[in-house]
Structure 1
């Protein structure tokens, strides 16, 4: 049985991180849990003070940018990558995601 994720919420969270917006919107509890999962699994990372920041906040990792590119609703045809991700046992497992994202036919 595959684990299903709320791709719209994940997309919004990734955009928020990308744009350094702290407010996750209406589903705050779900968003907090998802944000923690995305951080734990390497999709978002903490800013480092050496990168011009003050060490607070978060930024997209290369894996997070790849996920956002796959599920971004502003890109025509984003339903297919979401469907492929939904077919995985756990699409946000780092090894699973990296393997699926590397396949040219997903996009």
Structure 2
């Protein structure tokens, strides 16, 4: 299996901007699919994409890329904030700081890319 990095990037951006909103990965997947279609790409299977987005939410949470948003920051038990690890992943996916080579290394790692220890080594440039 390989990750849909653009969808993960979208989810991380939603975490970053969704301070007072509940996190809705399935809706974000639908919006992502609509954007792809508007750019001329074939419409992906929505059921599959929605399920993947929900799986990515769990994976990002369990891997320490996102954590529950504290109440004092508008947390409601259904929204998140990026951790340092999550911010680094988003930087790589956004292509900031000449990270295109790192993004390719993420792709090359396959499923292991989001294992915290593997990601941390990769992000450190090792």
The question of a shared fold, defined as TM-score above 0.5 by the shorter chain, is answered with: yes
Query: Residue 7 of structure 1 contacts residue 82 of structure 1 at CA under 8 Å; is this kept in 2?
Result: no
Match of 1:52 in 2: 73
User: C-alpha separation between the residues in 2 aligned to 1:25 and 1:96?
Assistant: 26
User: C-alpha separation between the residues in 1 aligned to 2:8 and 2:75?
Assistant: 25
Query: Which structure: larger Rg?
Result: 2
1:88 aligns with 2:109: yes
Match of 1:5 in 2: 3
User: C-alpha separation between the residues in 1 aligned to 2:75 and 2:53?
Assistant: 24
User: What TM-score do the two structures reach when normalised by structure 2?
Assistant: 0.69
Number of equivalenced pairs: 100
Q: Counterpart of 2:51 in 1: which secondary structure? A: helix
Query: Residue 68 of structure 2 contacts residue 75 of structure 2 at CA under 8 Å; is this kept in 1?
Result: no
Query: Which one has the bigger helix percentage?
Result: 2
User: What TM-score do the two structures reach when normalised by structure 1?
Assistant: 0.80
Question: Tell me, which stretches of 5 or more residues in structure 2 are unaligned?
Answer: 31-48
Superposition deviation, residue 10 in structure 1: 0.4
